[in-house]
Amino acid sequence: PTSDWIDYQIPVIVKSSMEFMKRAATRAMALSDVDQMDEQQPNTEGDDNGKKEITDFDPQAVRQANAYIIAGACFSLGLKYAGSANRAAASAIIERVLWFLELRDNKDTVTLTQKPDNSTLITCLCTSAISLAMVMAGTGDLDSFRLFRALRWKCDDGTLYGTHMAFGAAIGLLFLGGGKCTLGSRPEDVAMLITAFYPHFPVLSSDNQYHLQALRHLYVLAVHERILEAVDVDSNEKVCIPIELSLANSNEVVQVSTPFLLANDSKFVELRLKSDRYYPIVINASDWNAQGKLSTLFVKRKAGHLSYLQDPNGLRSLSMQSGSADSESFLKLIKLFSDDANLASFAKYFSFSSFDDDEVFERFCRDVTYECMKEEKSEILEMYLKIFRLIESKGSKSISVESVWEARLLRTYAETRMQ
C-alpha cells in the first residue's frame, strides 16, 4: 500500500496528458506578460508531431478521470486495510488528501490546470478522507484528526450537506466507540462499508436520488470491539499496565499498555504482564484468536505499590517501601495502600495512643501493622498480639498450658523455616 501503487493505477494516457498540462502551465507562469505567452504558445505546439498528438484531448475529461482514479484507489486501500492502522496505507492516502486539499484551496496557474470541476473535486476529497478514516478507525490518530479539522474548516455557501456529512463521518470513524472499536475487513464487512460510504454524497439531508441515506448507518455491522483492558480484582477498576504481546507468524514482540486497541488483522500467541507492581501473568491467546474477540485481563496489584494512575513514576511506591512510620503519614499510608478496614483501625487505635508508658507496645504494633500491610496478611495481627503478650508474661506463673503449647508450635515452625 504505497503512493507508487496509486500512481500505477492511472493509465498512461491520463498521466501523460496531466504532465503536459502541468508543463504548459509552468511555461506560462515563466513568461513575463500575457503578450509573450501569446507569442510562445504557437511555437510550442508546432515543435514536433508528438506534442500535437498529446494536445488532442479533452482537458476537463482528463482532470476528472485523474481525480476519480486516485480517489477510487484510495477507497480500495481504505476497504482492504480497514481497521488495521496500517501506516503505509495511511501515508499514501494522506498524500492524496493533501493533494486534493491543495487543488481546492490554491489558486496558482499550475494548480488550476490540474483542478477538475468543483463537484468532482469535493466528491474525491470526501472519498479520500473517508478512506483514511477507515484505515485508522478507532485509533484517534492525531495527524489524521488535524487533517480532518483542516478539511472541514472551509464553510461557505458552496459547501453542501454531503460534504459536512462526509467529514463528520470521518472524524467519527477515527474515534469509533470511544477508541474501543475498529472496522473489520472480512468480505461481509467490506460489503457493509461500501454500502455505507458509497462515494456519492447528497446535496440535502432529504436527497435520496442516488443513494438511500438510511443505508449510511450500515457501517455499524462492520464494527468490532478489539479493545484489550485490564481490571484490578480488588478494586474492580480498569487499570493501565504495561504488557508484552508475541505476534503470530513472527518473532516480533510488541510492548504496549492497556487499554490497547488491537488492529483487526493482528493476532498474538502470547500475552505477558511486564510490571513489578502487579503479579506476573502469562496467557496463551490461541483461544482468543479462535473466538475472534478479546477477553478482559484480570490483574492483582502487589502490596506496597500504587497503580500507574495514582503513581506514574513509582515515587510514592518507593516511599512506601522505605517503611516511614511517622504518626500522620503512617496512617495515611495505611489507608492509601490497603483497603482492609481492620488494619486501618488497628493502626489508628493501637499504633498511636495517648499513653506514654507503653512505647514498646506501640512500636511493636506499628512494626507488625507495616509488615501485615506489606505482605497483605492482616489476619495474623491477632497471632502477633498473642506472641507479644506471651513474651511479656515470661517468668510469671499465670501462663496457661495452651499458651505454652502455642509457643512451642511457633518455635517448631520457625526452626523448620530456617532449615
DSSP line for 307-338: -TTT-TTSHHHHHHHTT---HHHHHHHHHHH-
Three cell numbers written together for 387: 506472641
Mean pLDDT of the chain: 77
Give me the mean pLDDT over the 298-325 stretch.
66
Is the pLDDT assigned to residue 204 strictly greater than 60?
Answer: yes
pTM attached to this predicted model: 0.68
Point out the least confidently predicted range of 20-24, 26-30, 280-284, 350-354. 350-354
User: 40-69 b/e with 16+ CB inside 10 Å = b?
Assistant: eeeeeeeeeeeeeebeeeebeebbbbbbbb
CA distance 150 to 128: 14
Point out the least confidently predicted range of 115-119, 365-369, 375-379. 375-379
Is the pLDDT assigned to residue 38 strictly greater than 60?
Answer: no
Point out the least confidently predicted range of 43-52, 107-116, 164-173, 264-273. 43-52
Is the pLDDT assigned to residue 129 strictly greater than 80?
Answer: yes
**Which is higher by pLDDT, 412 or 64?**
64
pLDDT at 327: 60
**Angle formed by the axes of helices 87-105 and 59-80, nearest 10°:** 150
Nearest Cα neighbor of 230 from 313, 316, 294, 276 is 294
Give me the mean pLDDT over the 265-282 stretch.
79
Which residues, 6 or more positions from 65, have their beta carbon under 8 angstroms from its beta carbon?
A: 11, 14
What is the pLDDT confidence band of residue 357, given thresholds at 50, 70 and 90? low
**Which is higher by pLDDT, 375 or 86?**
86
Q: Which of 234-243, 265-274, 329-338 has the highest mean pLDDT?
A: 234-243
